[in-house]
Structure 1
């Protein structure tokens, strides 16, 4: 059976896949906990998260153009730093983003049917796993529709809040003073929302002309997402302030209510559910492709490397990822999943930046990689203690499994 994936995505579709992951539930799910950590420094935390995300995107795009294969930093770390670092990046990505999948599924449930969010989350996972199983072009079409709808809803939130009589510029910088540590912690939580551009690089084997397409698609998607996030954060702060935003379970729905448009709240809830569906679809695609790459190298069961002969998707990996996410969605906690996911993904991008540093040549490329590496390490270390400890423990477990597997191989 041929285990190569089909190249079907152009620049537009690659940008849409990235936007589907970024301009999705992240802005609905991460804004409140980030405001709780950063206080009135929320907008500054957004800038810090964006700078680190830009550095990571720049390094990832350079590497993806050199190594246009499924797996993202798992492949880059393996090729530039050695097998262990590639494995650790892949492990961190698969574990962290599997937690992200559960968080997104639970966000769907929380907005669609409060009180029954776990059941709705499982149903959403099953439906989007089936969509991914149907082929990449089908997934891209679904992503286009979701992104268009979510952007329309977010634009409505911005207009309603900024034109409201309740809007107060003083609220943008008011509220609790969190200090530098709180600001960095907020940036680490907001990074959860920015990390979706990785979907473009992990799908490198399914992108046409990847040497040109990926370096163009990644910064475009990131730039659009940053503009949207900044506008939404300013709009929400202008009517709620950072303290009220931090205590909100549905911040954007509460923002339109505070702006005097309570009738718009159900529309925002629908937009949040669609956003979470878009993020979940992109996440399942990305995690399954990294799983495929690791299975090809024997770090995961080789059966997961199978590619469907007709649909040309990693169907065993997609089904396995969907099954694990469904179990987590039935049992997990939303806010805990965000911090845990951020830790794993920050480690993943730290390895990406270290890999990009080894490319040498351009001074700008090395400088950006250095800033990205330091930024990832700092943000990971300043995340909530429970998230950092759990993330470090899971990475240590992955390293132990790698060592045990190496010993078993050396004996055979």
Structure 2
């Protein structure tokens, strides 16, 4: 299915602003008081532990986004790793949960808007939703400019809070540091973990990020580090300037902290910062959530209208409008159960990302080529799965049941709608095919990943690529000698060059007798000149057990036979240089021997790192 790509115009700081703005909200301006009541001043350790746990999912998401920078984030990764049924269920669940969370963020402002207006929070939330829907339709760059301005404003106010607050910290207020023991600290880390959930939103707009292989992992990492430090310092200072009796269970901890440090001006400044923070969370939520239905529609798992992109603005305007309408509807629903359900879905997002990464890595897909790789595999992922499993358990049976209900509805939708329209294989099917029938194997996912790499790395096909695309491939399972190889090659080249097999064979043998074309252990690049004009062809050869070339110390496993007319001499030299550049890659030989078929062999060449623009 053909669809319009979204415009790539987001840079590193844009990614940082989306990710950090999505994290700063209730976790900073409401939860510290509730968390302090559970763990005391040691709540600062709870925030650090929660940040570490979030990093396990964030690093997995960063790898997946660097390998597959497409709109839809976790939905896209689940569909490509586990299949469309799992992707449909997760996509619908995550789309709705992000939409719900964005509505809750606007409702959460009520605690602070009361200081500035008597207008009911629902009306304020509706107005802001309409405003940000319009902004999101106008363009992602406009959306992010507002996001950057708000994030900078928040960080400036919080920085002042930290700088001046450190002077006011009283050691007496921080004692006892562990009033409820370490168990409470660990339990509270689960309570505040939701503060870091927004870090994953930015992957939904990966398709709109320039140089995504670098900017997404770096932007997400910087955002998580900065916000973790901010959380820890702010919570430490707040606990050090307020009595426990005042801080415990307060819904306005920074407002009270600002008053203790600066007086009434400080309190109002923190109220403004809180309002900005909730707005940035909602804005990032609309931006991220609207990409889920668009990505599902591209895969024909939702009606086509969701995939429509505004011809001028290059934004998914229909998906944005529908996401905004759901946000407004949610404002009038009972919130408590939906908040917990959305939080459960957010934790499931981390789990899905880790599972997707494990499957993609274990599948053996050749074209799964992340620029950034999550470290400490698989130990970091195991720690993440255990930690998130514990958090899911802590959410309670009701919320788990509601989430499972959404997943079941997603499966029903897939069975009656998506199953009869979408055709897609997955990394999981590819992996299972290694243990069962080869009939399960398919090149659809490898082909899609190849095109993603080309777009991600800005690879523009040149003449060398065009020749490789149509070049014959000879894949020889058993050991052969040079004569037998050249006879096989002659059969392929003769019809392409308009020469007889015998003439081609003769030219190949004569060329080899002049000097060996074996360039290094395992690689040979024979070349012959034929009569005529504007003729140039390549034959690609792999021999698993090796080819015995005269005078070669080791068997040759990779052969590129080039044949061209005299007027193609310059292009031959360029093609030779490109081939040497590609085959000099550190892991080339291992990839070459591991490639499953002729398409995979060509992909190694087509996606190889080399100078482009050969003509």
Q: Same fold (TM over 0.5)?
A: yes
Structure 1 residues 215-264: Cα deviation after superposition (integer angstroms, max 9, x where no partner): 22111111111111111111111123566434212110011223462331
The answer for the alignment partner of 2:124 in structure 1 is 120
The answer for the alignment partner of 2:238 in structure 1 is 236
In proportion to residue count, which structure has more strand?
A: 2
Listed as ranges, the matches of 1:138-149 within 5 Å are 138-149=142-153
Listed as ranges, the matches of 1:12-411 within 5 Å are 12-113=13-114, 116-164=120-168, 167-168=170-171, 170-171=173-174, 173-174=176-177, 177=180, 180=183, 182-240=184-242, 244-259=246-261, 261-333=263-335, 338-360=339-361, 364-383=376-395, 385=396, 389-403=398-412, 405-407=414-416
In proportion to residue count, which structure has more helix?
A: 1
The structure-2 alpha-carbon separation of the partners of 1:404 and 1:317, relative to structure 1 and needing over 3 Å to count, comes to closer
Q: Distance in 2 between matches of 1:408 and 1:62?
A: 31
- SS state of the match for residue 312, structure 1? coil
CA contact (8 A) 2:34 2:250 kept: no
Q: How many residues align?
A: 406
CA contact (8 A) 1:99 1:340 kept: no
CA contact (8 A) 1:191 1:342 kept: no
Q: Distance in 2 between matches of 1:173 and 1:95?
A: 42
- SS state of the match for residue 72, structure 2? coil
Give the deviation of 1:137 after TM superposition.
Answer: 0.6
Q: What stretches of structure 1 of length at least 5 have no aligned partner?
A: none
Q: Distance in 2 between matches of 1:237 and 1:131?
A: 38
CA contact (8 A) 2:93 2:406 kept: no
Q: Distance in 2 between matches of 1:310 and 1:402?
A: 35
- SS state of the match for residue 365, structure 1? coil
CA contact (8 A) 1:184 1:379 kept: no
**Greater Cα offset, 125-134 or 289-298:** 289-298
The structure-2 alpha-carbon separation of the partners of 1:409 and 1:237, relative to structure 1 and needing over 3 Å to count, comes to closer
The structure-2 alpha-carbon separation of the partners of 1:189 and 1:87, relative to structure 1 and needing over 3 Å to count, comes to farther
Structure 1 residues 247-306: Cα deviation after superposition (integer angstroms, max 9, x where no partner): 212110011223462331111111110111111111110111112112323444432221
Give the deviation of 1:129 after TM superposition.
Answer: 1.5
Q: Distance in 2 between matches of 1:366 and 1:131?
A: 41
Q: Distance in 2 between matches of 1:170 and 1:20?
A: 30
The structure-2 alpha-carbon separation of the partners of 1:125 and 1:135, relative to structure 1 and needing over 3 Å to count, comes to same
Q: Distance in 2 between matches of 1:5 and 1:392?
A: 36
Give the deviation of 1:172 after TM superposition.
Answer: 6.2
Q: Distance in 2 between matches of 1:38 and 1:90?
A: 36
Give the deviation of 1:185 after TM superposition.
Answer: 4.6
CA contact (8 A) 2:173 2:242 kept: no
Q: Distance in 2 between matches of 1:33 and 1:338?
A: 16
Structure 1 residues 134-170: Cα deviation after superposition (integer angstroms, max 9, x where no partner): 1011011101100110001111222343222x63354
CA contact (8 A) 1:108 1:124 kept: no
Give the deviation of 1:42 after TM superposition.
Answer: 1.7
CA RMSD of aligned residues (A): 2.6
Q: Distance in 1 between matches of 2:263 and 2:347?
A: 38
Q: Distance in 1 between matches of 2:99 and 2:185?
A: 26
The answer for the alignment partner of 2:606 in structure 1 is none
Give the deviation of 1:63 after TM superposition.
Answer: 0.6
The structure-2 alpha-carbon separation of the partners of 1:40 and 1:392, relative to structure 1 and needing over 3 Å to count, comes to farther
CA contact (8 A) 1:71 1:289 kept: yes
Higher Cα Rg: structure 1 or 2?
2
CA contact (8 A) 1:109 1:119 kept: no
The structure-2 alpha-carbon separation of the partners of 1:232 and 1:402, relative to structure 1 and needing over 3 Å to count, comes to same
- SS state of the match for residue 84, structure 1? helix
The structure-2 alpha-carbon separation of the partners of 1:174 and 1:258, relative to structure 1 and needing over 3 Å to count, comes to farther
Q: Distance in 1 between matches of 2:27 and 2:314?
A: 29
CA contact (8 A) 1:90 1:348 kept: no
The structure-2 alpha-carbon separation of the partners of 1:410 and 1:66, relative to structure 1 and needing over 3 Å to count, comes to closer
CA contact (8 A) 2:90 2:410 kept: no
Q: Distance in 2 between matches of 1:24 and 1:188?
A: 17
**Greater Cα offset, 126-135 or 37-46:** 37-46
Structure 1 residues 32-82: Cα deviation after superposition (integer angstroms, max 9, x where no partner): 343344445422321221111111111001111111101111111111222
Greater RCO (CA < 8 Å, at least 6 residues apart) = 1
Q: Distance in 2 between matches of 1:310 and 1:409?
A: 30
The normalised TM-score by structure 2 is 0.61
